[in-house]
Amino acid sequence: MDKTKIIITREEIAKRIAELAAELSRDYKDKNPILIGVLKGSFVFLSDLVRAMNIPVEVDFIRVSSYGACKETSGKIKLVQGLKIPIKGRHVLVVEDIVDGGLTVSFLLDYVKHRRPVSIKLCALFDKPSRRKVEVPIDYIGFTIPDAFVVGYGLDCNEKYRYLPDLCILEE
């Protein structure tokens, strides 16, 4: 078992999600938005986020894969599961766990845009701007974090550690 070190506690995450949820509830009031969770990493964040919001929302999921072995991204994004709910004419919020190089999110925003929603915005819980390869507009950011591989709160390394409630650095 690798060693993990907590960098953001579950309490800090919950507090920040409450703030994001309040902001989103204000911005999307009377808009009945569709929140699109990016699987698998965002499942924990999305479930906490929708329950902290105080407006009606709909939820769908999209699944992509890009990662090879744990920390290495293959650079090639594959759509594994597309949307099930029609989004034409709707307000869409893409909910992502973490933005790293930015390729996944830019692929997803293109995929969503093609389906002609009225509006499309991006909410990412964690952002690693120092790793960016392509520019992506993030409308709602939870935490900006340094360049380190992190796990927990839905994030994995080879499918391990997703269940950890805090955000941790994976130590060699």
Q: Which residues bind ligand IMP (CB under 6 A)?
A: 38, 41, 66-67, 73, 96-105, 149-151, 155
Give the whole-angstrom CA distance, residue 24 versus residue 8: 22
In this structure, what DSSP letter does residue 159 have? Answer: T
| Exposure letters 51-69 (e unless 16+ CB within 10 A, then b) | ebbebebeebbbebebbee
Please tell me which residue in 100, 127, 147, 166 is annotated as part of the active site: 100
3-state secondary structure 23-68: HHHHHCCCCCCEEEEEECCCHHHHHHHHHHCCCCCEEEEEEEEEEC
Give the whole-angstrom CA distance, residue 160 versus residue 168: 12
Q: Which amino acid is at 139?
A: D
Closest listed residue to residue 131, CA positions, set 118, 149, 119: 149
Shortest Å, Cβ 29 to ligand IMP: 28
**Does the annotation count 30 as an active-site position?**
no
CA dihedral of 37, 75, 112, 125, whole degrees rounded to 10 = 40
**Which residues are part of the catalytic machinery?**
100
